[in-house]
Amino acid sequence: MNLRDRIYLILAGIFIATLVSCNLIFLKFFEWRPLDLYTFQLSVGILPYPITFLVTDIISELYGKRKADQVVISGLIASVFVSLLVLVADSVPAIKDGSPVDDETFHRVFGLNAAGVFASMVAYLSAQFIDIRVFHFWKKLTRGKHLWLRNNGSTIFSQVVDTAAVLALLIFVFDAIPLPEGKDHWRLFLDLFEMGVLFKMLCALVDTPLLYAAVWYLKPRIGDESSETT
């Protein structure tokens, strides 16, 4: 196996591991107040999620749209497979004396909500495929220049779609998010949408130098066949 193929497998592995971890840890929420200017209340599952868009942008830039699509499909299959494994593990009764984790604790931590998983997968597929196509649209339009533009343009736009899709499904279709006192469904949607999009936009800006560094380091070593595979 040559270096180009090894790097692709490493990037695909990072992508799949990141995506699967998002679905496993999303039940914990945290609060973040950067410089006391704004208060974010978010699921910890959102922390690794922007890495998936960074990886697909790296693959899109160096390997082309077809390879990026393959990674997205592989991530979906891996997520569904892990979800099934968790469901099986959750259904197996724990030993009453001797199991460090009892059934109730395991279910509270890993018991996947069917509506949440479905909404997450729909949003994931929509956002990732949009990200890849917008990335290559800007690459073609700018004739391969302005990497920062296609990185931020594709990621921010696709993250808006991702956030809107998952929240719309969870709030309006499945009614899976409890309404805080004094809020209706639209107010809850807009508040969560605002926090999610702002956080993801910050992540998109932060990952731009990482994308430049990855392309700068890898392109001379593995080549660039993206124009042949788009």
Q: Tell me the domain boundaries of the chain.
A: 3-224
Confidence (pLDDT) at 225: 62
Answering whether pTM is above 0.75, one says yes
- State the number of CA atoms in the 13 A half-sphere of 140 facing the CB: 12
Assigned token pair, 151: 């990185």
- How are beta strands 40-43 and 29-32 bridged, if at all? antiparallel
CA distances, 112 to each of 17, 83, 109 (Å): 17, 7, 8
Confidence (pLDDT) at 165: 92
Confidence (pLDDT) at 2: 93
| Residues in the chain, pLDDT under 50 | 228-230
Partners of 29 in beta bridges: 43
Give ∠ CA 106-25-198 in degrees, rounded to 5: 150
Give ∠ CA 90-27-169 in degrees, rounded to 5: 100
- Report the alpha-carbon distance of residue 68 to residue 52 in Å, rounded: 11
Tens digits of per-residue pLDDT, 19-40?
999 988 887 889 999 988 899 9
- Report the alpha-carbon distance of residue 49 to residue 202 in Å, rounded: 13
Assigned token pair, 17: 């591991």
What one-character-per-residue DSSP string does 109-162 give?
Answer: HH---HHHHHHHHHHHHHHHHHHHHHHHHHHHHTTT--HHHHHHHHHHHHHHHH
Residue type, 198: L
- Report the alpha-carbon distance of residue 58 to residue 67 in Å, rounded: 11
CATH class, range 3-224: mainly alpha
- Report the alpha-carbon distance of residue 54 to residue 62 in Å, rounded: 12
- Report the alpha-carbon distance of residue 224 to residue 144 in Å, rounded: 12
Confidence (pLDDT) at 226: 59
Residue 29 backbone dihedrals phi, psi, to 5 degrees: -115, 155
Confidence (pLDDT) at 230: 45
Tens digits of per-residue pLDDT, 110-132?
877 777 788 888 899 999 999 99
Assigned token pair, 9: 């497998």
| Residue 44 DSSP class | G
- Report the alpha-carbon distance of residue 204 to residue 209 in Å, rounded: 10
